[in-house]
Amino acid sequence: MSSLFPALTDGPADRPALRFGERSLTYRELAAAAGAVAGGLKEVRRVAVWATPTMETAVAVTAALLAGQAVVPLNPKSGAKELGHILSDSAPDLVLATPGEQLPAPLAALPRLDVDPSAGAAAPGSLPDDRARDPEDPALIVYTSGTTGPPKGAVIPRRAIAHTLDALADAWQWTSEDVLVHGLPLFHVHGLVLGTLGPLRRGGSVRHLGRFTTEGVARELNDGATMLFGVPTMYHRVAEALPAAPDLAAALAGARLLVSGSAALPVHDHERIGAATGRRVVERYGMTETLMNTSVRADGEARPGTVGVPLPGVELRLVDEDGSPVTSYDGETVGEIQVRGPNLFTEYLNRPDATAHAFTPDGWFRTGDMAVRDADGYVRIVGRKATDLIKSGGYKIGAGEIENALLEHPGVREAAVTGEPDDDLGERIVAWVVPADPLSPPALDELADHVAGRLAPHKRPRVLHHLEALPRNDMGKIMKRALARG
Ligand code: MCA
Ligand code: AMP
């Protein structure tokens, strides 16, 4: 296999690679910094990265991948329970972090290696040659929520990263000339694989906003950036800001490509952005386990409400409830999306049961997403098989993990969690709680803090209903649809 990042050794060394705020690195500087970090990674098999949205994270991940280690990116806002689970499940040999950054207790037991992006210049390291690495070697272990239980670690091989990024280059005409801007978190596939490793594999550059703001987007697109990646919540905020922000409208109008993914971008937001800027937003569809499956192509028609066509090398089919493939391209017949191809993960770490369940016997991955196909093959996602998965702000969140966390609060006797439509977040998390003491039921803030502290802030409930009892069927199962209907 070729190197994951050929531009680090073969491209113009003075070209900008990474920029975070005021700090930037050229390819030469990145090679030196990554070489210095990689020097500290000998005899190591798997590393955790405290994945703050910083230069240190980008350098750490690049170094570890070149050195052939598997990277476990950690959400720096992880609560104690979630962090404990990820660390005991993935058992990293050490943690890479920014110098001076205080790490929480569960990480104290691990050896730590500080990442200094400027160290390379002072003490040049030698960049490891990753060309001889087995393409099937694990590159990333990314934790992703299921309907029940704690998140599972999706093992993503080097082959899948290379494949998905090259397929996107084909679909988007993505080249070394492109300058990407985004404010995505670096502990998920969207911000890390597409948003950071993507530009580096192309030999182009990324400017990370640190945190997403529409002002930051406008500034960078008006100052040479060519592409914007975001989740629908970010595009919704762009759409909201546009009427009062002519500089933002000009910025989007001048961009080469605007890409949305991680959840459905409502047609209303597509239309508002289109009307204010004359530009279309391109949607692509992916998943932690599959990386990218489909996209509207840069030279194709951006049809709001669709996620385009399968990427090169990706086989995609719809399957009905009996497991038979849906053959009609009529825009109406719904089936579950199943995919096969070099973009897929290898397994869920330590979970052979879940891995086996996720695939059909002939190797198709069951996405759980429901879709139809238009006559020309465009895929339209119409829903999800599991009601217990919530997408909020582009984050996938399992109802079960929040219910378990709520049940650990002394004020909660019973709990159920649902998602309800939200203009900004797509869905917001709603908690339905039977209080232990009906005379002093726990307040929303208290339960939100409890969940944020144990799991992560984006998993906290935003709405709370107190109930005397949860509606259950004859089997004792909570009837969530009845809850949501109120
Ligand atoms: C709020 N905060 C709290 C609490 N409440 N902290 C502790 N305890 C609390 N009770 C803090 C938060 O940590 C955060 O801190 C701030 O308050 C605001 O939090 P929040 O309200 O959650 O933020 P938001 O404004 O709603 O965030 C919107 C967002 C975010 C920026 C769009 O949802 C986001 O970054 N989404 C991206 C998700 C993503 O990348 N998904 C890709 C998954 P502070 O102010 O310090 O931040 S990969 C995937 O899906 C596949 C592969 C694909 O197709 O891409
Ligand atoms: P994650 O588990 O966080 O990787 O989320 C993957 C899920 O996000 C998919 O299974 C889809 O449900 C959803 N998703 C990603 N991109 C899109 C999109 N463009 N439109 C609709 N849903 C999407």
Distance of CA 111 to the CA centre of its chain: 27
Domain assignment present for residue 453? The answer is yes
- Of 143, 172, 195, the last residue of a domain is 195
Task: List pocket residues of ligand 2, CB cut-off 6 Å.
Answer: 144, 189, 261-264, 283, 285-288, 307, 367, 369, 381, 384, 391, 396
Domain contains 474: yes
Final residue of a domain: which of 172, 195, 218?
195
Which of 145, 170, 195 is the last residue before a domain boundary? 195
86 alpha carbon – ligand 1 mean position (Å): 19
**Cα(119)–Cα(208) distance, rounded to whole angstroms?**
21
Residue 74 lies in a domain: yes
Q: Is the CB of 77 under 6 A from ligand 1?
A: yes
Structural domain includes residue 346: no
Q: Is the dihedral of CA 86, 88, 90, 96 positive or negative?
A: positive
Instruction: Please give the backbone phi and psi of residue 404, each rounded to the nearest 5 degrees, phi first.
Output: -60, -40
Q: Does residue 471 belong to any structural domain of this protein?
A: yes
**Gap from CA of 285 to ligand 2 centroid (Å):** 6
Q: Whose CA is nearest to atom 27 of ligand 1?
A: 393
Q: Hey, whose CA ends up nearest to atom 30 of ligand 1?
A: 393
Q: What is the CATH number of the domain that holds 75?
A: 3.40.50.12780
Smallest-distance ligand from the CA of 336? 2
User: Based on the structure, what is the number of domains in the chain?
Assistant: 2
Residue 178 placed within a domain: yes
Name the CA radius of gyration of the chain, rounded.
22
Q: Is residue 443 part of a domain?
A: yes
Structural domain span for residue 463: 389-485
CA angle 153, 156, 160 (to 5 degrees): 155
CA distances from 107 to 95, 459, 481 (A): 8, 21, 40
409 within domain boundaries: yes
CATH of the domain at 469: 3.30.300.30
- The verdict on the CB of residue 428 being under 6 Å from ligand 1 is no
Mutate to test the pocket of ligand 2, among 140, 283, 287 (most ligand atoms within 8 A of CB): 287
User: Closest Cα to atom 25, ligand 1: which residue?
Assistant: 393
Q: How confident is the prediction along the chain (486 residues), in pLDDT tens digits per residue?
A: 789 999 999 889 999 999 999 999 999 999 999 999 999 998 899 999 999 999 999 999 999 999 999 999 999 999 999 999 999 999 999 999 999 999 999 898 899 999 999 876 655 557 888 998 999 999 999 999 998 889 999 999 999 999 999 999 999 999 999 999 999 999 999 999 999 999 999 999 999 999 999 999 999 999 999 999 999 999 999 999 999 999 999 999 999 999 999 999 999 999 999 999 999 999 999 999 999 999 999 999 988 999 999 999 999 999 999 999 999 999 999 999 999 999 999 999 999 999 999 999 999 999 999 999 999 999 999 999 998 999 999 999 999 999 999 999 999 999 999 999 999 999 999 999 999 999 999 999 999 999 999 999 999 999 999 999 999 998 888 999 888 766
Question: Which ligand 1 atom minimizes the distance to the CA of 291?
Answer: 52
